[in-house]
Structure formats: C-alpha cells, structure tokens
Amino acid sequence: MTEQIRPSSELRNRYNELVKECKEKNTAIILTVNGKGDSVILGLEKYQEIMDELELLKNLAEAEEDVREGRTAPLSDSFKSIRNKIESMEF
C-alpha cells in the first residue's frame, strides 16, 4: 500500500478529492500538523482489510501460545468429541 503525506489543511480544503484518491488508488494519506504525522485517511474497504488481518494475526498468536503451553489435542480426538456432541443432541 502506498502512502502520501499531506498537510491537514488539505483535509478541509479537498476532502472529497482525498477520499476519492484513497478509495481508487488503495492508498493511505498521512496528515501532518506542523510538519509532524498526526492522522491517517484510509478507504473503509482498506481499513476493514487491515482489521481482518489484525484479527487473524491475533488468532494465530493465540494458537501458537496454545501449542507452546500444551493446550492441544489430536485432531481425531477433537472430531470424536464433536461427533459425540452432535449425536447426543435432540432435534
């Protein structure tokens, strides 16, 4: 993903253009205040993609911790447990 750095005044003056650019070019725009990074503009689709990736990374980190801590079971045991629960359900 490419990034562009722009002064925050552009947000006031060119909001529609900046948002369109974020969406069409799949880019992030870093806004500065007094020459220092302050905020980022992203299209909603890109933001959701980043949040989904972050959630996946958190889940993978938890899974790795489970393996390190020995909180795992053989796959066959897991399927057997699921089958038993399904068979005991009343419909």
Query: Within a domain: residue 50?
Result: yes
The predicted pLDDT at position 91 comes to: 74
* Among candidate residues 25, 19, 10, the one with its CA nearest the CA of residue 41: 19
Mean pLDDT of the chain: 94
* Segments forming the whole domain that contains residue 62: 3-70
Query: Within a domain: residue 12?
Result: yes
pTM: 0.72
Query: 41 pLDDT exceeds 80?
Result: yes
What are 46-70's pLDDT values in tens digits?
999 999 999 999 999 999 999 999 9
Query: Within a domain: residue 35?
Result: yes
CATH number of the domain that residue 45 is part of: 3.40.1620.10
* Among candidate residues 8, 63, 13, the one with its CA nearest the CA of residue 39: 8
Query: 2 pLDDT exceeds 90?
Result: no
Domain count, the chain: 1
Q: Chain centroid to CA 67: how far?
A: 24
